[in-house]
């Protein structure tokens, strides 16, 4: 049950080559292979694409690797060597040339055909092809891929590297991982990470096939639109990677009929694999542009590429072409030292709202279609960073991002480490970079390439205790890998910028020789910032960066996600299981300390209830913390304060999970939204009010990502903790909120605000607020607490009940009867966001009869997306305050629901 999208065959759909005269023959070698370990004691069928762990599980040799402590129990798998074998029939004289193609081998492999060595692999991120015509036999052919233990290989590579250390040697003990992952070109987090298990996979993780042809074949096609400012003209650069059997003359026609553009080229194809570039000029200025989510549509055009030889059509390809420009603006900022750092898409500055993407599953073959990217868009995100410790995602990922308008910050796969620079290593990295850029550069969604994750920072701030005398050597290696090699190769892609690292000072880092003294400088580039100890409700603790590309807080997934991988004895916060799944030093304690700053900690006597309450409270804490920090970044977009500001990006860490464990994610493994994701839906809204206190004065900002100016007023409702109806309501005057800006619209000392509002004090009342124009509310309602909920006076047990009714769920508090009879008096939540299974369940129980949450809890556990609703039917008195939090967000949902076409009771 892994989230997201994969279907490996879609990779091939990208190569929609149409050949006439059946010039090319493809033999699919995917499907059932045989798999054996090194001493032959295990011999089993194995699916390709796939990996050893998946095969062992599918054949019942192991149980779910994610169950309890199995990550450690199954360590033996990656310490062994394994061999994949298959047979096929293909006659040798079938065509002039026959290639054996592996779209991805994980990782260190030797390939043999009919007992003869064909070639070797050592980079999971490369496609490999081997010419095998001379090795084919009539009748049955035997194909074998031997895979070395990645752990032993990495360790051998490390041992062979005697001249100097390439740190880190091993991950922190708390991660229970393997060492020297930086010596192998493989998903770096597969040896463990601070949110993920160690499963160093081995396998044929992408497709395998034979490709046979007589004249030539297209290996890869890319089309990149570029805009020429001087001539106000678009052109599309088309690059063909062609594998030809012999020299051949040909003709190529490129056309985009919809744009009235066509061009023909005489060309010739040299033997072997060659790249050819062609440019088609666009004859019209009326080109529809691709826009990020929230800023416009994502239209595309069909480009027709036709290759002819002697008048015969030999290939035809119809890629989609999206037109857009990207600039990364780093220029002086008035009133601030340093440089700006923001993206301009089609000439328009865009604030990036989103998160960071990690691998969706330890076993990539188990990634299945799901809705993670849709969930990102549903939460009003417009950007994701594909983080450098994972994998370059499959084509379908980027195709969906193109369609949804998600901007992708694409790291190269290097993270939190130094890397070797021996010729072999550099060589394989070069091949990886060339292939990935060629594969991905047609996607408009990718707006930036970035060389690595945190390696500039690791060097600059000396994570690995490198002696000062040796520093220059490490800096030289760093520059050699990311600047002299990767950057140089990537620069041929003129359609997006390149950054060497994240975080970085960008242009300033370059000035300082690519490793800045302080890559976290708030006046330059992007910043990663984490602080778990300081009070996250205090916005003063957050750095006012130009661009926040990582920040976040951990939480636990809900009980329904943990239950299938645990047993009863695991269900307490102090259990071995609970600490085993926590890979971040002191993480469990940090969450509790942070939650305790504002909430009563669960104290139920029933151990299970106490556990589920604790999971829940970590989600409330996380949601509130990330909300406060994100709101701070969004309101900092238009101002410079003490030389800092003009923040133009907020990508929290992290969107998704790789397994069922505590992490910084807003979506649990399996796709269920944590409370944070619901909060994100609000705090990333295009028009949004943000409140904060400065010297006991309440300030409300209106934030607008819309291009047009708005006239808005802030409406503040002051509630007593005891009632659901406001005690009083305050309105600001109508103010101009210019397009794409954040401006203050309300200011009042808290004391005077409360003095005019019944008997309200900081302890007895709280605020909600929204923006309105002349006719209606604009954007979601937000809330602001005047004290910690644990100190709030007047809260009562809410006794929540709910009622399924068609496509909505109505939550009611029996203690506090409805204020608004029109809505049936309760908080209404659309069931629209449920997945099919859940919808089914909702429909099944939609009997119209009211159930207490307690009665329904069991069936609901697996059905409702957020743990906020599933675990907490009977909160202990001490944590009732968090209910209020929920009620407020339900009210927000209710209003949102009212704006959509949800059916009401």
CB of 721 to ligand BMA, least distance (A): 35
Stretch that binds ligand BMA, among 42-50, 74-82, 190-198, 440-448 (CB under 6 A): 190-198
What is the DSSP code string of 512-563? TTTS-S-TT-TTSSBEEE--SSS-TT-GGGS---S-EEEE---BPPPHHHHG
**Separation between Cα atoms, residue 222 and residue 218, nearest integer Å:** 11
Interaction residues for ligand BMA, span 384-413 (CB under 6 A): 389
CA 751 to each of CA 200, 474, 574, 689, 722: distance values in angstroms, whole numbers, following the listed order: 58, 57, 43, 21, 20
Binding mask 722-751 for ligand BMA (x = CB under 6 A): ------------------------------
CB of 584 to ligand BMA, least distance (A): 6
Cβ-based nearer residue to ligand BMA, 254 or 416: 416
Is residue 456 a contact point for ligand BMA (CB under 6 A)? no
Is residue 659 a contact point for ligand BMA (CB under 6 A)? no
Give the sign of the dihedral formed by CA 894, CA 899, CA 903, CA 904. Answer: positive
Q: Is 286 exposed, middle or buried (0-12, 13-18, 19+ CB in 10 A)?
A: exposed
Cβ-based nearer residue to ligand BMA, 356 or 612: 356
**Token pair for residue 401?**
């991002």
- 785 neighbors 793 (Cβ within 8 angstroms): no
Cβ-based nearer residue to ligand BMA, 33 or 664: 664
CB of 553 to ligand BMA, least distance (A): 10
3-state secondary structure of 109: strand
**Separation between Cα atoms, residue 227 and residue 149, nearest integer Å:** 48
**Separation between Cα atoms, residue 795 and residue 798, nearest integer Å:** 8
Binding mask 531-550 for ligand BMA (x = CB under 6 A): -------------------x
Is residue 460 a contact point for ligand BMA (CB under 6 A)? no
Cβ-based nearer residue to ligand BMA, 225 or 389: 389
Stretch that binds ligand BMA, among 191-199, 625-633, 707-715, 773-781 (CB under 6 A): 191-199
CB of 110 to ligand BMA, least distance (A): 32
Cβ-based nearer residue to ligand BMA, 324 or 583: 583
**Separation between Cα atoms, residue 816 and residue 696, nearest integer Å:** 31
| Apex 214 CA angle, 208 and 218, nearest 5 | 55
Cβ-based nearer residue to ligand BMA, 167 or 296: 167
**Separation between Cα atoms, residue 644 and residue 691, nearest integer Å:** 20
Q: What are the residues facing 243 on neighbouring strands?
A: 217, 273
CB of 255 to ligand BMA, least distance (A): 44
Cβ-based nearer residue to ligand BMA, 520 or 684: 520
CB of 155 to ligand BMA, least distance (A): 22
**Token pair for residue 581?**
């799944």
**Token pair for residue 469?**
């005398």
Interaction residues for ligand BMA, span 663-682 (CB under 6 A): 664
Q: Which residue carries 């605020």 as its tokens?
A: 767
Cβ-based nearer residue to ligand BMA, 415 or 562: 415
Residues contacting 391, CB < 8 A, separation 6+ = 124, 125, 187, 359, 364, 413
Q: Exposure pattern of 591-605 as b/e (b: 16+ CB <10 Å)? A: bbebbebbbbbbebe
Is residue 416 a contact point for ligand BMA (CB under 6 A)? yes
Is residue 554 a contact point for ligand BMA (CB under 6 A)? no
| Strands 332-333 and 765-772, sheet pairing | unpaired
**Token pair for residue 603?**
């104290």
- Residues acting as catalytic residues: 454, 550
- 125 neighbors 391 (Cβ within 8 angstroms): yes
Alpha helices by DSSP H, listed for 38-177, are 52-58, 70-73, 75-79, 150-160
| Apex 303 CA angle, 299 and 305, nearest 5 | 165
Q: What are the residues facing 140 on neighbouring strands?
A: 89
Cβ-based nearer residue to ligand BMA, 448 or 841: 448
CB of 664 to ligand BMA, least distance (A): 6
Stretch that binds ligand BMA, among 188-196, 248-256, 556-564, 758-766 (CB under 6 A): 188-196
Alpha carbons within 13 angstroms on the beta-carbon side of residue 22 total 4
Is residue 653 a contact point for ligand BMA (CB under 6 A)? yes
CB of 288 to ligand BMA, least distance (A): 36
**Separation between Cα atoms, residue 547 and residue 561, nearest integer Å:** 33
Is residue 211 a contact point for ligand BMA (CB under 6 A)? no
Stretch that binds ligand BMA, among 180-188, 193-201, 321-329, 340-348 (CB under 6 A): 193-201
Stretch that binds ligand BMA, among 73-81, 192-200, 315-323, 843-851 (CB under 6 A): 192-200
Is residue 454 a contact point for ligand BMA (CB under 6 A)? yes
What is the DSSP code string of 402-459? HHHT-EEEEE-S-BSS-----HHHHHHHHHHHHHHHHHHTT-TTEEEEE--BSHHHHH
CB of 193 to ligand BMA, least distance (A): 6
Is residue 551 a contact point for ligand BMA (CB under 6 A)? no
Cβ-based nearer residue to ligand BMA, 626 or 737: 626
Cβ-based nearer residue to ligand BMA, 318 or 533: 533
Q: Which residue carries 């063909």 as its tokens?
A: 240
Is residue 594 a contact point for ligand BMA (CB under 6 A)? no
Interaction residues for ligand BMA, span 609-628 (CB under 6 A): none
CB of 238 to ligand BMA, least distance (A): 36
**What is the C-alpha R_g of the chain?**
29
3-state secondary structure of 869: helix
Stretch that binds ligand BMA, among 60-68, 139-147, 187-195, 819-827 (CB under 6 A): 187-195
* DSSP state at residue 310: T
**Token pair for residue 645?**
């500001």
CB of 552 to ligand BMA, least distance (A): 7
In what helix (H) or strand (E) does residue 896 lie, and over which residues does it extend?
helix 880-899
Closest CA to 525 of 497, 484, 492: 497
Binding footprint of ligand BMA, residue count (CB under 6 A): 12
Cβ-based nearer residue to ligand BMA, 478 or 804: 478
Is residue 193 a contact point for ligand BMA (CB under 6 A)? yes
Is residue 194 a contact point for ligand BMA (CB under 6 A)? yes
**Separation between Cα atoms, residue 629 and residue 625, nearest integer Å:** 6
Cβ-based nearer residue to ligand BMA, 554 or 889: 554
**Token pair for residue 729?**
């309501």
- Pick from 82, 195, 673, 684 the residue near ligand BMA by CB under 6 A: 195
* DSSP state at residue 653: S
**Separation between Cα atoms, residue 802 and residue 811, nearest integer Å:** 4
- Pick from 70, 192, 453, 647 the residue near ligand BMA by CB under 6 A: 453
**Separation between Cα atoms, residue 691 and residue 701, nearest integer Å:** 6
- 100 neighbors 143 (Cβ within 8 angstroms): yes
CB of 444 to ligand BMA, least distance (A): 25
Is residue 243 a contact point for ligand BMA (CB under 6 A)? no
CB of 356 to ligand BMA, least distance (A): 7
Q: Which residues bind ligand BMA (CB under 6 A)?
A: 193-195, 389, 415-416, 453-454, 528, 550, 653, 664
């Amino acid at each position: 049950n892994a989230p997201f999208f994969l279907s490996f065959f879609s990779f091939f759909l990208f190569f929609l080559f149409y050949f006439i005269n059946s010039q090319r023959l493809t033999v699919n070698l995917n499907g059932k292979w045989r798999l054996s370990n090194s001493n032959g004691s295990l011999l089993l069928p194995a699916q390709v694409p796939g990996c050893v762990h998946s095969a062992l599980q599918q054949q019942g040799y192991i149980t779910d690797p994610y169950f309890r402590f199995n990550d450690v129990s199954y360590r033996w798998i990656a310490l062994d060597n394994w061999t994949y074998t298959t047979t096929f029939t293909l006659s040798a004289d079938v065509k002039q040339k026959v290639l054996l193609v592996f779209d991805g081998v994980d990782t260190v492999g030797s390939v043999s055909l009919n007992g003869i060595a064909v070639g070797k692999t050592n980079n999971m991120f490369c496609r490999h092809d081997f010419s095998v015509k001379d090795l084919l036999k009539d009748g049955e052919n035997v194909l074998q891929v031997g895979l070395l233990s990645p752990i032993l290989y990495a360790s051998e590579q490390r041992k062979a590297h005697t001249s100097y250390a390439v740190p880190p040697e091993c991950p922190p003990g708390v991660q229970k991982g393997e060492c020297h992952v930086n010596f192998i070109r493989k998903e770096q987090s597969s040896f463990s990470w601070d949110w993920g298990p160690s499963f160093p996979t081995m396998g044929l993780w992408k497709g395998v096939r034979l490709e046979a042809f007589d004249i030539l074949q297209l290996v890869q096609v890319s089309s990149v639109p570029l805009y020429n400012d001087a001539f106000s003209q678009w052109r599309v650069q088309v690059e063909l990677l062609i594998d030809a059997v012999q020299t051949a003359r040909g003709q190529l026609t490129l056309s985009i009929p919809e744009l009235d553009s066509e061009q023909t080229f005489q060309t010739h194809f040299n033997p072997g694999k060659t790249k050819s570039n062609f440019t088609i000029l666009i004859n019209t200025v009326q080109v529809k542009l691709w826009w990020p989510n929230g800023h416009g549509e994502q239209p595309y055009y069909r480009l027709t590429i036709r290759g002819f030889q002697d008048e015969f059509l030999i290939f035809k390809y119809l890629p989609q072409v999206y037109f857009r420009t990207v600039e990364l603006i780093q220029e002086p900022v008035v009133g601030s030292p340093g440089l700006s750092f923001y993206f301009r898409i089609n000439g328009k500055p865009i604030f990036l709202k989103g998160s960071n993407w990690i691998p969706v599953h330890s076993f990539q073959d188990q990634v299945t279609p799901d809705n993670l990217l849709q969930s990102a868009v549903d939460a009003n995100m417009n950007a994701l960073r594909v983080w450098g410790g994972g994998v370059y995602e499959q084509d379908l990922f980027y195709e969906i991002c193109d369609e949804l308008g998600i901007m992708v910050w694409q790291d190269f796969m290097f993270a939190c480490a130094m890397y070797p620079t021996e010729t072999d290593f550099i060589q394989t990295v070069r091949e990886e970079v060339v292939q990935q850029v060629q594969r991905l550069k047609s996607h408009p969604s990718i707006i930036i390439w970035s060389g690595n994750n945190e390696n500039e920072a690791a060097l600059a701030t000396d994570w690995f205790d490198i002696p000062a005398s040796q520093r220059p050597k490490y800096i030289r290696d760093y520059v050699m890998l990311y600047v002299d090699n990767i950057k140089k190769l990537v620069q041929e892609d003129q359609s997006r910028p390149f950054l060497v690292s994240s975080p970085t000072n960008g242009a300033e880092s370059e000035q300082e020789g690519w490793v800045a003294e302080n890559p976290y400088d708030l006046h330059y580039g992007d910043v990663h910032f984490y602080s778990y100890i300081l009070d996250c409700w205090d916005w003063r603790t957050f750095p006012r960066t130009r661009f926040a590309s990582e920040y976040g807080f951990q939480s636990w997934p809900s009980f329904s996600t943990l239950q299938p991988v645990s047993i009863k004895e695991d269900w307490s916060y102090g259990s071995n299981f609970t600490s085993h799944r926590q890979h971040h030093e002191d993480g469990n304690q940090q969450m509790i300390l942070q939650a305790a700053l504002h909430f009563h900690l669960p104290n139920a006597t029933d151990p299970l209830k106490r556990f589920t309450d604790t999971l829940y409270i970590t989600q409330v804490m996380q949601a509130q913390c990330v909300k406060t920090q994100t709101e701070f970044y969004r309101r900092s977009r238009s101002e410079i304060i003490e030389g800092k500001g003009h923040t133009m990006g907020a990508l929290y860490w992290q969107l998704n999970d790789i397994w069922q464990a505590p992490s910084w994610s807003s979506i649990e493994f399996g796709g269920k939204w944590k409370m944070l994701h619901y909060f994100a839906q609000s705090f990333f809204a295009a028009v949004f009010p943000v409140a904060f206190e400065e010297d006991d004065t309440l300030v409300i900002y209106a934030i607008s990502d819309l291009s047009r100016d708005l006239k808005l007023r802030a409406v503040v409702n002051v509630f007593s903790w005891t009632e659901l109806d406001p005690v009083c309501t305050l309105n600001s005057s109508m103010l101009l909120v210019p397009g794409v800006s954040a401006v203050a619209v309300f200011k009042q000392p808290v004391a005077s605000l409360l003095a005019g509002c019944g008997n309200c004090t900081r302890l007895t009342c709280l605020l909600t607020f929204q923006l309105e124009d002349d006719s209606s509310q604009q954007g979601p309602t937000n809330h602001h607490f005047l004290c910690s909920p644990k100190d709030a006076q007047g809260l009562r047990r809410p006794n929540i009940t709910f009622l399924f009714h068609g496509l909505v769920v109505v939550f009611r508090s029996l203690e506090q009867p409805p204020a608004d009879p029109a809505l049936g008096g309760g908080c209404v939540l659309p069931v629209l966001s449920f997945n099919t299974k859940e919808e089914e369940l909702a429909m099944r129980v939609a009997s119209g009869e009211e159930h207490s949450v307690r009665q329904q809890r069991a069936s609901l556990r697996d059905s409702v997306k957020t743990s906020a609703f599933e675990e907490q039917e009977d909160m202990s008195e001490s944590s009732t305050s968090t209910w209020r939090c929920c009620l407020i967000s339900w009210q927000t949902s209710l209003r949102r629901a009212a704006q959509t076409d949800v059916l009401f009771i």
